[in-house]
Amino acid sequence: MKERDITELVSRYNTWRQIYAYAGEIAPNEPDWDDDRLYFRNGYPNADWSAFILEATADGRYKVLHASTERRNTPIESLRAVFSQIEDAGKYIVYEVADLLRVTQQLEPLDQRWRAAGLDPRVEKVVVSERQAKYELRDDRTAYFLAYSGGIQPYNHILPLSYDQLDAILIDGFPESITSRVGAEPR
């Protein structure tokens, strides 16, 4: 994996860990490497921990998996999506972690808003098979992800966004007591 892209992802994720603390919530664990996979755990090592996992594939893409130990001794993993670019995989992980905080803060989750909006006009959905669809940027076909083909995956909206744009959307609606502290410390 590209070190610069991993550094940016970890920095963005850690910003949201700090926002969790500002909001008075228990922050997810720090990211850590295990067997060439980058784990973004929540609640580890306690029972019922969960995680997003970033894994490079042999063909140069990036899988994002979700692991859960809810009511289990060993984690069960499920594939969320395969991204062509690490930045988009990173934005997906940040989106999931930050949207969970939005829910705990009783803010409208982006998931709901983006589901209602449907497919972003800058993104095209191409059905690959009965079980898989490809979501790609219309103006840059190299930026895409593969996911379950049923319905419209709401996170298609992350593809045209930068990290800064995504963060601005995710932080919208938080009280000023939190937003005034975001960005006060260097990344």
pLDDT of 187: 44
Compute φ and ψ for 64, nearest 5 degrees: -115, 120
Q: Is the dihedral of CA 8, 120, 100, 76 positive or negative?
A: negative
**What is the tally of structural domains in the chain?**
1
Residue 88 lies in a domain: yes
pLDDT of 184: 55
Residue 186 lies in a domain: no
Render each residue's pLDDT in the chain as its tens digit; 187 residues. 689 999 999 999 999 999 999 999 999 999 999 999 999 999 988 888 999 999 999 999 999 999 998 776 778 899 999 999 999 999 999 999 999 999 999 999 999 999 999 999 999 999 999 999 999 999 999 999 999 988 899 999 999 999 999 999 999 999 999 999 886 554 4
The domain containing residue 115 runs over which residues?
Answer: 3-179
pLDDT of 47: 80
Residue 187 lies in a domain: no
Residue 184 lies in a domain: no
Q: Taking Cα atoms as reference points, which of 94, 87, 96 lies closest to residue 143? A: 87
**pTM beyond 0.85:** yes
Spell out the long-range contacts of 175-181 with Cβ–Cβ below 8 A and sequence spacing 24 or more: 177/22, 178/19, 178/22, 178/23, 181/22
Q: Taking Cα atoms as reference points, which of 81, 156, 82 lies closest to residue 123? A: 156
